[in-house]
Amino acid sequence: METDCIFCRIVGGGTDTEFIYQDEEVVVFRDIHPHAPVHLLIVPRRHVRSVNDLTEADAPLVARMILAAREAARLQGVDASGYKLLFNVEWGAGQRVFHLHLHLLAGKRWAEGG
Ligand code: DGP
pLDDT (mean) for 10-37: 97
Is the CB of 36 within 6 Å of ligand 1?
Answer: no
pLDDT (mean) for 9-17: 96
Is the CB of 16 within 6 Å of ligand 1?
Answer: no
pLDDT (mean) for 54-61: 98
Q: Mean of the per-residue pLDDT values for the chain?
A: 96
Our answer to whether residue 99 is catalytic in this structure is no
Is the CB of 31 within 6 Å of ligand 1?
Answer: yes
pLDDT higher than 80, residue 3: no
SS3 69: helix
Q: How confident is the model at residue 16 (pLDDT cuts 50, 70, 90)?
A: very high
Q: Measured from the CA of 86, which atom of ligand 1 is nearest?
A: 3
pTM over 0.95: yes
Q: What is the pLDDT of residue 114?
A: 64
CB 99 within 8 A of CB 47: yes
For the beta sheet containing 102-106, the strands, ordered from the edge strand earlier in sequence to the opposite edge, are 19-22, 26-30, 38-44, 102-106, 83-86
Instruction: Give pLDDT tens digits for 58-89.
Output: 999 999 999 999 999 999 999 999 999 999 99
Instruction: List the domain boundaries for the chain.
Output: 6-109
How far is Cα 84 from Cα 88, in angstroms, rounded to an integer?
13
Domain 6-109 has CATH 3.90.70.10: no
Q: What is the pLDDT of residue 78?
A: 97
Q: What is the pLDDT of residue 2?
A: 73
pLDDT (mean) for 53-61: 98
